[in-house]
């Protein structure tokens, strides 16, 4: 059940990325280029996604359990810490450099794009390089989501 739901969610997520224009780096860079020819489209992607997801999260929280009856596993960490701010800052720089964030990059691999594959391979190296930080954080915070 959980695996079928995950497969469907991944598929719909990918279709949304393709339809929204997020999979095209020029669309993302057009949005991030405030000083140039600004394309505000991506603000509509975010608005559309949040408008649908917000009531669903509120409902999920009220139910307290998923469709299989198991308790929700949503993040409980509320602490504003250095990894959050520093990591987000580094992520934003990379996002602006190529016009790709993780979801659209994985979709690009699904399009068999060699450059998207190079991006994702580099992304894997970046992800693994955070291990040391995460060990430190897990010693400090008993349960991070």
Partner 1 sequence: MHIDWAHFSPGSALAGGALIGVAAALLALGAGRILGAVGLFAGVIDGPERVWRIWALAGLLGAPTLARTLWGAAAPQFETGFGHVVAAGLLVGYGARLANGCTSGHGVCGLARLSPRSLLATLVFMTTGFASVFIVRHVLV
Question: What tokens does 99 get?
Answer: 């016009």
Instruction: Pick one of 87, 135, 138, 140: the residue that binds partner 1 (CB under 8 A).
Output: 87
Asked if residue 138 binds partner 1 (CB under 8 A), the reply is no
**Spatial contact of 98 and 27, defined as CB atoms under 8 Å apart:** no
**Spatial contact of 64 and 71, defined as CB atoms under 8 Å apart:** yes
Q: How many residues bind partner 1 (CB under 8 A)?
A: 123
Instruction: Pick one of 91, 135, 138, 140: the residue that binds partner 1 (CB under 8 A).
Output: 91
Asked if residue 19 binds partner 1 (CB under 8 A), the reply is yes
Asked if residue 142 binds partner 1 (CB under 8 A), the reply is no
C-alpha to C-alpha distance for 120 and 68, rounded to whole angstroms: 33
The distance of closest approach from Cβ of residue 41 to partner 1 in the complex, given in angstroms and rounded to an integer, is 4
**Spatial contact of 99 and 26, defined as CB atoms under 8 Å apart:** yes
């Amino acid at each position: 059940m959980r695996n079928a739901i995950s497969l469907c969610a991944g598929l719909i997520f990918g279709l949304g990325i393709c339809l929204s224009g997020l999979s095209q780096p020029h669309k993302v860079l057009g949005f991030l280029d405030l000083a140039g020819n600004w394309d505000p489209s991506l603000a509509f992607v975010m608005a559309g996604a949040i408008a649908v997801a917000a009531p669903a999260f509120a409902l999920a929280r009220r139910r307290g359990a998923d469709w299989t009856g198991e308790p929700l596993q949503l993040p409980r960490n509320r602490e504003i810490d250095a990894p959050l701010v520093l990591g987000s800052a580094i992520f934003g720089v990379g996002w602006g450099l190529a016009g790709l964030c993780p979801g659209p990059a994985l979709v690009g691999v699904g399009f068999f794009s060699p450059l998207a594959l190079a991006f994702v391979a580099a992304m894997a190296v970046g992800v693994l390089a955070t291990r040391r930080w995460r060990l430190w954080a897990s010693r400090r915070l008993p349960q991070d989501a």
